[in-house]
């Protein structure tokens, strides 16, 4: 039997105007944005629709903004009876995956994201760092490079996005040394425009302060399996998910393992729910073209209608 997974994007997928057509069409989407503005005590809706992009991209705004749009798209799909068999979210997007699985309410997911964004922003200011995408080497090869480069400064793997696309994170010195070593192995290195060294030990204090907020949040057993970033495995237990989410800020995003776990469970249709097409693009790279798979993106009314027509 065919199965569908909803994939929820994270930071970096934002664009000015995102979610506006859904806001104008559905009253429940207006409720989601109102809730986000209230919880953040900021004009997230205004930033989503009108920008400027520079302000929208600030971590404290970007994380709740993308979450609001992801949840708006999810709610619009649910209204039309389109529900997934499994879910996953990339970094920030994982909180929306948990909402899709009814492990967290929309409100609780937004509360956690808002706190997460503030803590990560605080640590980015206190402990500046860098991130670099390395294309052309696999996970183990990049791991060996970061091990060698660590003598120059803290550096490790942030994201395993595709078989030969790995993002590293850490101090500017450590990341620069690792990039030099990767180029010596003929890899392509792309500096990322980020305000902090996400998923690194430089975020340790943010992770420490976030953990009790996760532990206090009302998690429920997931209604459907969620592929978790930290483990790369499918999970439904509230107790297990809650414990793993306390480590999410500083742990690598094992996205490659998440997509493989979804595929191995029988998923053959991947729907990116929220702004952008990054995650469906990565899924294609991970699973290859030899499999009979379908990919969709839902970030507004036109492609919502297209997906509902073809699903």
> In terms of domains, do 86 and 166 share one?
no
Helix and strand counts by DSSP (H, E) for the chain: 14, 10
∠112-248-196 over CA atoms, to 5°?
85
Dihedral (CA of 174, 178, 181, 186) sign? negative
Q: Is 91 a catalytic residue?
A: yes
End-of-domain residue from the set 191, 213, 230: 191
Q: How many domains in the chain?
A: 2
**Does 41 map to a domain?**
yes
**Does 196 map to a domain?**
no
Catalytic residue among 13, 90, 91, 195: 91
**What range defines the domain where residue 43 resides?**
3-125+201-310
Catalytic residue among 90, 121, 160, 199: 199
> In terms of domains, do 287 and 218 share one?
yes
pLDDT at 78 over 80: yes
> In terms of domains, do 206 and 105 share one?
yes
> Which residues are registered as beta bridge partners of 133?
167, 190
pLDDT at 210 over 90: yes
> In terms of domains, do 169 and 231 share one?
no
> Which residues are registered as beta bridge partners of 271?
6, 296
Give the model confidence (pLDDT) of 115-125 as tens digits: 999 999 999 99
238 pLDDT band, cuts 50/70/90, is: very high
Please give the mean pLDDT across all residues of the chain.
Answer: 97
Q: Is 289 a catalytic residue?
A: no
Query: C-alpha 270: how far from its chain's center?
Result: 15
> In terms of domains, do 120 and 140 share one?
no
**Does 144 map to a domain?**
yes
> In terms of domains, do 13 and 33 share one?
yes
pLDDT at 1 over 80: no
């Amino acid at each position: 039997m065919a199965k569908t997974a909803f994939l929820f994007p994270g930071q970096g997928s934002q664009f000015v105007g995102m979610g506006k057509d859904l806001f104008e069409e559905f009253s429940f989407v207006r409720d989601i944005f109102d809730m986000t503005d209230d919880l953040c005590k900021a004009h997230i809706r205004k930033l989503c629709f009108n920008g400027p992009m520079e302000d929208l991209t600030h971590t404290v705004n970007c994380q709740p903004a993308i979450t609001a749009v992801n949840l708006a798209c999810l709610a619009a799909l649910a209204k039309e009876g389109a529900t997934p068999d499994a879910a996953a979210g990339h970094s920030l997007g994982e909180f929306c995956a948990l909402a899709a699985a009814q492990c967290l309410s929309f409100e609780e997911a937004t509360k956690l994201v808002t706190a997460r964004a503030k803590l990560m922003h605080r640590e980015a200011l206190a402990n500046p760092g860098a991130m670099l995408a390395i294309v052309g080497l696999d996970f183990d090869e990049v791991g060996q490079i970061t091990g060698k480069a660590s003598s120059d400064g803290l550096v490790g793997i942030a994201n395993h996005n595709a078989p030969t696309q790995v993002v590293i994170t850490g101090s500017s010195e450590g990341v620069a040394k690792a990039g030099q070593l990767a180029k010596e192995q003929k890899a392509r290195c792309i500096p990322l425009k980020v305000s902090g060294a996400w998923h690194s030990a430089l975020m340790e204090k943010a992770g420490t302060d976030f953990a009790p907020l996760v532990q206090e949040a009302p998690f429920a057993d997931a209604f459907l399996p969620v592929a978790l970033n930290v483990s790369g495995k499918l999970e439904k237990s509230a107790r297990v998910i809650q414990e793993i989410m306390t480590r999410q800020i500083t742990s690598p995003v094992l996205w490659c393992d998440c997509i493989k776990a979804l595929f191995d469970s029988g998923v053959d249709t991947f729907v990116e729910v929220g702004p952008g097409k990054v995650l469906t693009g990565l899924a294609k790279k991970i699973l290859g073209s030899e499999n009979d798979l379908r990919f969709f993106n839902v970030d507004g009314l036109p492609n919502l209608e297209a997906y509902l027509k073809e699903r």
